[in-house]
Amino acid sequence: MRIAFFDTKIYDKPSFEELGEKHNIKYKFFETKLTPDTVDLTRGYDGVCVFVNDCVNAEVIDELYQNGVKFIALRCAGFNNVDIKHANGKLQVCRVPAYSPYAVAEHAMAMLLTSIRRIHKAYIRTKDFNFSLNGLTGFDLHGKTVGIVGTGKIGSVFADICNGFGMKVIAYDKYPNSNVNAKYVSLEELFEKSDIISLHCPLTNETEHLISKQSIEKLKKGVVIINTSRGGLIDTDALVEGIKSRKIGAACLDVYEEESDLFFEDKSGHIIEDDTLARLISMPNVIITSHQAFLTEEALKSIAETTTQNIVSFIENGECENRICYKCV
């Protein structure tokens, strides 16, 4: 079985090479992303393995189908970058529904603590032997209300962490989970009551720009926004205006609406043409990490194991485990 592996990073190879050799799967690792311009590279391959910023639109799917590709293996949970409807009847699409919810939830809390306790600022100061505490005053998490949007595996783990800090946890989900230690409320009530809002829902037509100009008007003054899910959940221009107007007190972003050509790459020697991102990075109350919430040894191992099992299942049974069913979606 020959698999074209796109958007390869150095940390991807070890686990996939080891498991590929064990299961007689031959990976061809491409550093480039899968796009309409690079889809010709898939000729002669049985499947493709893609990540969050690969483009698997209708044009790419048609070309994959013509090239003899039989399935798409996503090595991530989200699938908003794949035209599932267009793939139906042409290629099977499978994903990794859960790798390490602890990795993402813990990163969300790490960003929150870093922001409210000004740890990033203190670190830079002490490197210059500046031990002043001026401007480093934070606030307690204990007793604060955190609103969690999306209580799947990651959202439920984040709720447990917040409960451990003595926070009041409220949540919104179209499909409430009775096992989550949180009080479910309407989205409107969550916006109005939360001191901190953390987004853990998928990006769909319904959730796109969940944080918008209109919803920001409903938020408490000084609210902290955390997003470790998908950048498109937030209207970035509205976020910038919300921060400028002091409505939003801080933002912790592991994802960004226009991240596809920037994140996972070293752009330190380039002029960033994205003025909005440059502006966000310059703001003292904004912390941005480059989609690294998933990046733990445990998560990488789990991603490789589940992706490989999906491929093996397709080889042996003609059916992917963890298949994304268009009709179900």
CA trace torsion 322, 323, 324, 327 (10° rounding): -120
Place of tokens 């789990």: 302
Could you give the C-alpha distances from 36 to 78, 176, 295, in angstroms and in order?
20, 39, 28
Nearest to 329 by CA among 62, 76, 157, 93: 93
| Residue 224 β-bridge partners | 196, 250
* Cα angle value 174/293/16 (rounded, 5°): 105
List active site positions.
230, 259, 291
Torsions phi, psi of 276, nearest 5?
-70, -45
- Tokens coding 61: 């799917």
